[in-house]
Structures are given as structure tokens and as C-alpha cells.
Amino acid sequence: MDLISNRTMNITQLAMSGLVERQHAIASNIANVMSPGFQRKEVAFESQLAEIREKEDLKDYIKGQNSIEYKPPMMDVFTGEIHQYRIPTAQEKAYLQSNVYDQFKPQLVNDIYSGTDSKGNNVELEREMMDLSKTGTKYLVLSNLQRRQFTELSEAIRGQ
């Protein structure tokens, strides 16, 4: 495991990438607010992030239930129970070594649910400006989280 690579930073980086894609889509929507027949675009990625988080949780569970190196059975001195450690199966090892972050790809989709005007355009400028503001705020929060992570890492390296 890399020193500066952890779950929070990886998921934050993916979320920021998705938000950048969303800002591009919103900018395109705003630019085409008067284009006849233009259908607004949206970027969906939150469900992918939730799925990645669930897969990472499963990896943590598997790691907690297994031991990579052999450990003999151990008796609990308080209860007398014998704790067995088991070695992960080949399938579990393959899953633990897989990179779930590579599966992330924000999806650009047409918004077919919004009503259209007389020229077939469904872009509402007020909605786009509000979405742009929300997206920018989310990006700012995530970039502050990344900055805080790097600050803590830097302080640990300097021994502060």
C-alpha cells in the first residue's frame, strides 16, 4: 500500500473527477440554452461511488475474517474458546487484489424528464446556474478534504 494512497483520498479524487465532468455538462447546457432541439445533459456517478465504497467495505470484512499468513489456533483465556484463523480462498485473494477504482466512469446521460419549450429545448438557465453553484460547492469541500489529508501527511513526514 502506498503511503499517500488511502480510501478517503481515492474516493475523493474520483468524486472530484465526476464533479468536473458534471461542470462540463452544465457549461454545455448553458451554452446551448437557445439552441433549438437541444436536450440537456447530466452526469451520474454517485451510485458508482457508493458501489465502490461497498466493495471496499467487503474487502475490509474479508481481511478481518481471514489471515494471509498462517497462525495456529489460539485459545481465549477468558472464555476457553478456540479461535481459528482461516486462509482466504483463491477467489477472495483475487478480489482483495482487484482494483475497484478502475471501474469508475461518470455517465453522461440525456435528461428526458424535463419539459421542452416550443423549439424542443429543455434547458432552464436558472436550474443550470443552481446546479453549477452546487457542483462548485461540492468540489470546494472535497478539495479542502484533500488539502487537509496532504497537510496531515506532510506534518507526519516532518515529525510535527
pTM over 0.75: yes
Let me know how long the chain is. 160
> What pLDDT is attached to residue 116?
77
> What pLDDT is attached to residue 1?
41
On the CB side of 116, CA atoms within 13 Å amount to 13
pLDDT digits (tens, 9 = 90+) for 105-156: 999 999 877 777 778 899 999 999 999 999 999 999 999 999 998 898 888 8
β-pairing verdict for 41-44 and 74-75:
unpaired
pLDDT digits (tens, 9 = 90+) for 78-92: 777 766 666 677 888
Q: Could you tell me the maximum CA-CA distance found in the chain, to the nearest angstrom?
A: 78
pLDDT digits (tens, 9 = 90+) for 5-31: 688 889 999 999 999 999 999 999 999
Percent of the chain residues past pLDDT 70, beyond the cut: 86
Q: How far is CA 9 from the centre of its chain?
A: 9
DSSP H helices, 7-71, are 7-31, 46-65
